[in-house]
Amino acid sequence: MSEPIADLRPLAFTALAGWSDAALAPTFRAFRRAAPIRLARPPRTKALGIDGAALAAVAEAALKLPDTVDEATARAFFETRFTPLEVRPRAGEPFLTGYFEPELDGTRRAGDPRFPVPLLRRPDDLVDLDGATRPAGFDAAYAFARRTADGLVPYFDRGEIEDGALADRGLELVFLPDLVEAFFVHVQGSARIRLAEGGVMRLAYAGKAGHPYTSIGRLAIERGLIAADDMSLDVLRDRLKAHPAEARALMRENRSYVFFAEQTGLDDALGAVAASRVQLTPGISLAVDRTLHTFGVPIFLDAELPLGPDGAMIPFRRLMLAEDTGSAIVGPARGDVFVGCGAEAGRAAGRVRHAPKAFVVLAPKPEGAP
């Protein structure tokens, strides 16, 4: 039997710093909004052992309450139905970053010289892999493959796709101004595109080529291109745009390539549809390691983050919901905070690279438990 990846230490709610002052009604509203999806498709219990069936039962209980409740009702809901478990990794430390939904210009029409770089829809020969379907000899990190007449093979990587490996297959969804903007949409996994022909197109993650994610920000720091203390999303973007040849080579070192799907009928106040099939809620949705965390589980964070005016550090004691995932989100106490949509959210998200004081999963109590 393999060793546990983390220790889960039971706590009392009264022992959670900041819990008594945290606003829980907004989190309850997001939890309740997701409840029909949790019931229709109960979350799978993942490696940390948070029971998906028990979580679905709590979601059913949420639907018996109004959509909007006061703080006292929200607090009673969470405190009577969950047990706090502090996540203590056996290796590494808890760490938080931020992500957002980019908003940028583009067009559906091919051939516009202002928008030469496409985002692609998912190809029909892209196959999901898991432990049962991964061919012998495939790296365990590969989650996707390409179906061929001779069997499954690794999919084309970023460089091969940019060089035309998928050309002439009609996969282009929308066209963007340049490779750098397209790259950052890949990293964030969603976008709102202001179309030159009118209207707004919303895109969400639909799969990826399967190659492991490589942080080009980390590479830029290691190679002395950007000082670690200066690193942010804006600084990295400016560096890439100022040095296009260097940028093209650097971005290709992240071989991971993301495919997208257009989404319609969404609530404009919320983010894209996440991996857990719910729309993201700014400041409440958290991307986690999907191999370890059960989707939908509440997670309480105690941190100091640069989300105040002009990037000032402020207390961030928030009950989040594990609703999304990402290639770079690996580990039991690794979280990516969904900040919101647009340029300002992007600047705020890019500043978040901090260790929380506490990363606490709320485990649902079995039905009938006191």
pLDDT tens for each residue of 94-109: 999 999 999 999 999 9
Q: Is residue 301 part of a domain?
A: yes
Nearest partner of 357 among 95, 99, 97, judged by Cα: 95
> Would the pLDDT of 326 be above 90?
no
> Which pLDDT score is estimated for 368?
52
Range(s) of the domain holding residue 286: 6-98+275-364
Do 114 and 94 sit in the same domain of this protein?
no
Question: Is 155 domain-assigned?
Answer: yes
Query: Percent of the chain having pLDDT more than 70?
Result: 98
Residue 320 and residue 172 in one domain = no
Q: Is the pLDDT of residue 121 over 90?
A: yes
What pLDDT is stored for residue 370 in this prediction? 57
The answer on 165 and 19 residing in a single domain is no
Q: Which pLDDT value is given to residue 142?
A: 81
Domain boundary among 221, 243, 263: 263
Length of the chain: 370
Q: What is the pLDDT of residue 137?
A: 79
- Give the pLDDT mean for 176-187: 96
Residue 85 shares a structural domain with residue 120: no
Q: Which of 243, 263, 283 is the last residue of a domain?
A: 263
**What's the structural domain count of the chain?**
2
Q: Verify that 154 and 301 share a domain, yes or no.
A: no
| Average pLDDT of the chain, as a whole number | 94
Distance from C-alpha of 132 to C-alpha of 130, rounded to nearest angstrom: 5
Please answer whether residues 350 and 337 qualify as being in contact, where contact means their C-beta atoms are separated by less than 8 angstroms.
no
- Burial status of residue 278 (CB atoms within 10 A of its CB: 0-12, 13-18, 19 or more): buried
Give tens-digit pLDDT for 260-290: 999 999 999 999 999 999 999 999 999 999 8
Asked whether the predicted pLDDT for residue 178 surpasses 70, the reply is yes
Together in a domain, 91 and 21: yes
pLDDT at 300: 99
pLDDT of 14 strictly over 70: yes
Question: Are 170 and 123 members of one domain?
Answer: yes
Q: For residue 349, give the H/E element and its range.
A: helix 343-351
**What's the confidence (pLDDT) of residue 2?**
65
pLDDT at 139: 78
Q: What is the pLDDT of residues 132-163, one digit of tens each?
A: 778 887 877 788 999 999 999 999 999 999 99
Secondary structure E strands in the chain: 6-10, 82-89, 95-101, 103-106, 117-120, 126-128, 144-148, 151-153, 172-176, 190-195, 200-208, 258-263, 285-287, 298-305, 314-324, 334-341, 353-354, 358-364
200 and 181 in a single domain? The answer is yes
> Does 79 fall in a domain?
yes
User: What CATH number does residue 67 fall under?
Assistant: 2.40.40.10
Residues 91 and 109 in one domain: no
pLDDT tens for 283-308 read 999 999 988 999 999 999 999 999 99
